[in-house]
Amino acid sequence: MPNATPSARYDSPWKAALTHAFRAFMCFFFRELAAEIDWTKRPRFRDKELAGINLGGKPDGVVADKLVEVALRNGRIQWVLVHVEVQAQRDATLARRVLDYNYRIFTQYAQPVASLVLLADDDPHWLPHAFHNEVLGTVMGISFASAKLMSYAARRDELLVSHNPFAWITLAHLRTQQARHDPAQLYAAKWQLTKLLYQHGWRKQRIIVLFKVIDWMMALPELYQERYWRALLKLERERKMEWISPLEQSFIDKGWRKGLKQGIEQGMERGREQGLEQGLERGIEQGLALGRKEGALALLERQLTRRFGALPKATRSKLATATLEQLEAWSDALPESQSLNQLFD
């Protein structure tokens, strides 16, 4: 179903973000621990080694885990392995699993291992941080550092102005959870976060990585994604940026292809009279315009029906005769409108 909201994808976004900006991750979620790391020595990612350690099957809810080798500032221990796990679902076995992972990594490399867990689930009362077992004078267990993503939900304004990319990623994750498959809400959140990318003055590489993060994580239904690509390319042109240009082909969707095909056919017909090249160019132009309008019309009709129920015949007629600019303006005004009359007025 092209209009059904795809499931959120957290795995690839978090892995990409952790690899791209591990120091920013530590400074944002584990500030005190980050201060103990010597950042003049570049962290070394050991994901290949992690994959070779027999940790069993990946449990439900684990969206990302990374193994990173870092140096400490105190110099007492030259290198420490940091095992980071992002857990997106509540799991009663998490604390015990952290103990198992920590021990297996330590056994493999005979180096100290720090276990850090980011709890990215939606249960505010789930805060595991230790696992211990004591019997007959023997104590076995682990205490580990954890951070709760939901604790930032009430700090929206702080996240919006933070220059740390993980403040932005936290917003993306929380807004994706909050949307709960509501495509209009998810689209609005994705578009807001996309515009924020330009406001921090981040370098091109970071913007590209974070754009991929949001596009993977906040997956939209086909029609909403079409609208998103159009808005994105318009913003790109206005700001004279070129980093999203290679994605243009991604929004040549079914509706646009239909319009393009019609335009080419019209161009061929005109080509016999006005010249093939000029006719093709004009036909393709008209075809793309037709495709854009059909997509915008279908999207707005779906939004209105979802919001106000079955549409009156007069409303459908009004939509059918509207220009593309009118359709897009009504789509933008819809979230604040309480009725059809208010929207069209």
Q: Which residues, including other chains, have CB under 8 Å from residue 114's CB and lie 6 or more apart? A: 33, 80, 81, 82, 83, 145
Q: Span 310-315, mean pLDDT?
A: 87
DSSP string, 150-219: GGGTT-HHHHHH--SHHHHHHHHHHHHHHHTT-HHHHHHHHHHHHHHGGGTT--HHHHHHHHHHHHHHS-
Residue 7's identity, in one-letter code, is: S
Give pTM, 2 decimals. Answer: 0.66
Query: pLDDT tens-digit profile of 87-138?
Result: 888 888 889 988 988 888 888 888 888 999 999 888 888 898 999 988 999 9
Q: How many CB atoms lie within 10 A of CB 222?
A: 19
Rounded to whole angstroms, the Cα distance separating 123 from 89 reads 8
Sign of the CA dihedral with 72 first, then 74, 78, and 80 last: negative
Query: When comparing pLDDT for 269 and 149, which is higher?
Result: 149
What's the DSSP call for residue 79?
A: -
Q: Which H or E run includes 50?
A: helix 47-52
Residue 8 has pLDDT above 70, yes or no: no
Q: If DSSP codes are grouped into helix, strand and coil, which group holds residue 134?
A: strand
Kindly report the average pLDDT of the chain as a whole number: 78
What's the DSSP call for residue 37?
A: B
Rounded to whole angstroms, the Cα distance separating 225 from 343 reads 23
Residue 266 has pLDDT above 50, yes or no: yes
Rounded to whole angstroms, the Cα distance separating 342 from 334 reads 9
Rounded to whole angstroms, the Cα distance separating 226 from 231 reads 9
Rounded to whole angstroms, the Cα distance separating 188 from 155 reads 19
pLDDT, residue 3, reads: 55
What's the DSSP call for residue 55?
A: -
Residue 166 has pLDDT above 90, yes or no: yes
Query: pLDDT tens-digit profile of 38-73?
Result: 999 889 888 777 776 766 555 555 656 788 889 888
